[in-house]
Copies of this chain bind each other. A is one copy, B any other.
Amino acid sequence: MNGIRVTVWNEARHEKTNSDVQKVYPSGMHHAISEYLKAQGLAVRTATLDEPEHGLTEAVLRQTDVLTWWGHLAHDEVDDRIVDRVHQRVLEGMGLVVLHSGHFSKIFKRLMGTSCDLKWREAGERERIWVVDPSHPIAEGLGEYIEIPHEEMYGEHFDIPAPDTLVFVSWFQGGEIFRSGCCYQRGRGKIFYFRPGHETYPTYHNPEVLRVIHNAVRWTAQPGGPELRYGHRPNMLENINR
């Protein structure tokens, strides 16, 4: 899978209005992520909410093997037709990597079928992201855990379907745990949810966090199986009993 084509999508609103966020991500969170992925040899473009069609035209999605998604303030402003389009592409085989507050995005809720709600607290506390599936390619190159000195807390219950594979579980200093790395299959597509990434912390400059995003892009981009055909199927009895 050389030549994976990634579209890094960002709501990119905090970056316009919040000077704390601007200091950490002067060109936006999408820039931090996309520059890293480019340096790994991937073909990367970015797209943001305020572009026409949120930057996710039919043409762009057709040329996207994996879409990464960060949103927070403006989930409701994402056009339902674009959500339909992304949904369709995931079922056809496009990978989707959902980051942090993207848990509440329309596309993630659509794919999960649940509220995707959770507990949260902004206290700059310590997070440890433990690997619970050491056989998984998304954990490649990591140590036993990733330590992030200051992050927003997300706590259980996280209202998602039980992941097909649970790769990471987070520990938070204040007493909570969270299923932080969750793999799903939907149609021909693969989805990975990855928890960290509050906008006021330099989480997307952390090399281990970026490594996970890279691994997740590679994992969700893996070519799957057959083209799928649905609907009426002619009688095959002659064939079977011949």
Contacts and interface: CB of A to CB of B under 8 A. Distances in A.
A235 B162 contact: no
Interface string A104-148: 000000111111011111010110101111111111111110000
B169 A177 contact: yes
Given A156-B130, A161-B184, A140 B224 contact: yes
A135 B131 CA distance: 23
A235 B234 CA distance: 27
A233 to B, nearest CB: 4
B131 A174 contact: no
B171 A177 contact: yes
A134 to B, nearest CB: 4
B135 A93 contact: yes
Number of copies: 4
**Number of chain A interface residues as a range:** 35 or more
A173 B123 CA distance: 17
A226 B112 contact: no
Contacts of A130: 155-157, 176-177
Given A120-B231, A161-B186, A143 B111 contact: no
A3 interface: no
B139 A225 contact: yes
A202 interface: no
B228 A174 contact: no
A157 B235 contact: no
Contacts of A159: 91, 187, 228, 230
7 contacts: A126-B240, A134-B228, A156-B169, A161-B161, A161-B184, A171-B175, A175-B239
Query: Which 6 A-B pairs have CB atoms at the shortest separation, nearest pair first?
Result: A139-B225, A117-B230, A134-B225, A135-B224, A113-B113, A119-B233
